[in-house]
Chains A and B, each alone.
Chain A
Amino acid sequence: MEPTQSSPKMGATAIILGLVIALLVAGSAYVFVKLPKKDEIIVPETPIVGNRETTGATPTSVLMYKDGSYTVLGKYNSPGGAQEIQITLTLKEGLIVDTTALPLATQPGPLNFQQKFSAGFKTLVVGKSIDQVTLDKVSGSSLTPKGFNDAVLKIQAQAKA
């Protein structure tokens, strides 16, 4: 399959759109969403198509983004006029490893919203069910001696009695 320029960009656009929409929802209920045009997305390097090893027998071809920082200018209209915010994603081996948001608004109202968004912009880590992912190993709170667990159970039982 020939690598195409548009589909990886669309992928990045989708992610960034999601973030921008999150901004708008979080920031204000009455701003109007204007989705950025494709040519507003700045993708510094050409994404590549590569093979990623899978646990199955047949390797599947998946889209890979080159490592690096991808910056996008998010534009939207607020009651105070057109606003911009700059969002940067850092990708490593196809994964988002860092994100930053830079408020670009100049008026106090929109700037306030953008600053609030930027402060709370970093997503929170959430769990995903172990059943949903393929794992070789699990690492967590290690060293869980049986004696310790038994003692805890005993104490809990005492507390209930």
Chain B
Amino acid sequence: MNTVFEFEAIGTHWVVDIYEKLSSSKESFLLEKIQERIGVFDFHYSRFRKDSLVARMSEESGVYTLPDDAERMFEIYRIVYDLTRGKVTPLIGNTLVQAGYDKEYSLKVKTLSIPDTWDDVFEYVHPTLNMKKPYLLDFGAGGKGYLVDIIGEVIRSCGVEFFCVDAGGDMLYFAEDRKKLRVGLENPNNTSEVFGIAHIECGSICGSAGNRRQWGKYHHIIDPFTLTSPRDIVAVWTTSSSALVADILTTALSFVSPDVLSPYFTYEYFIVYADGTFIISSGFPIELFT
């Protein structure tokens, strides 16, 4: 019998499948470790709670010592920030709040402002982050994927090799004999339908679509320069060995073409445009319905 953990955390539904037999004591130990690790991550990086590290940084400038996991996340964010010329940016936090995507989900739109640049706001040399001014950082583009990677590490550290971590559709998967996982790619305009099935051998698949977090003319992605939500893409999926990379690239693909990212990341993509046309990279493992 396999073990399945299901719970709600960081505003989404988690399903962790363990494809190995665990003793009941190891089972509860692992679940506790997973939830504890999610709690720590949330405490550092969530802008949806008042007591988080990012909430403190939004109120006070100064020097902060960041946890070890910050290094990789900031490194990937910086690369994507540069490649998208600042469109994927952790500085979008305040703009999202102005659009109403705030702690209370007020969804009341105020006047939006263009965020400052990375170098104007902070300087980061691990583990030290110098906030030059108070600023609300947002790790919505890659944070969840990164947490999925981290939970994968937690599971491995307990000696488990074969598992699937699924955080609301963003996944990391490893199975014995590379048995493929069949992942339905949901049609955002009709969630009882799928566009196709991705056959995931191992690694991560992440998706992004605006439909479920949409209010007025905005959804969860806002272009920091035009202050509008991109509409020409209805859904994006990416695969990569890392969920952080897969996750953040779904947002990046709302702003730049795939070949901008290709020299820097090993990934595959499937992009569906508003008119129903699509592009698929040659290595994206899809069975598509057309």
Contact = CB atoms under 8 A, between A and B. Distances in A.
Contacts, number: 162
Interface stretch (B64-72, B76-84, B176-184): B176-184
Q: Which of A98, A129, A140 has the most CB of B within 10 A?
A: A140
Interface residues of A, number: 39
Interface stretch (B154-162, B258-266, B276-284): B276-284
B171 A137 contact: yes
Interface string B207-239: 111111111000010000000000000010100
Interface string A127-139: 1111101111111
A152 B280 contact: no
Would you call the interface of chain B mostly helix, strand, loop, or mixed? strand
Contact of B288 (A125, A142, A143, A145): A125
B277 A124 contact: yes
A126 B197 contact: no
B194 A125 contact: no
B289 A125 contact: yes
Given A140-B169, A142-B169, A128 B277 contact: no
B134 interface: no
Contacts of B107: 151-152, 155
Contacts of A124: 275-278, 290
B249 to A, nearest CB: 14
6 contacts: A97-B288, A126-B290, A137-B164, A137-B171, A138-B194, A143-B220
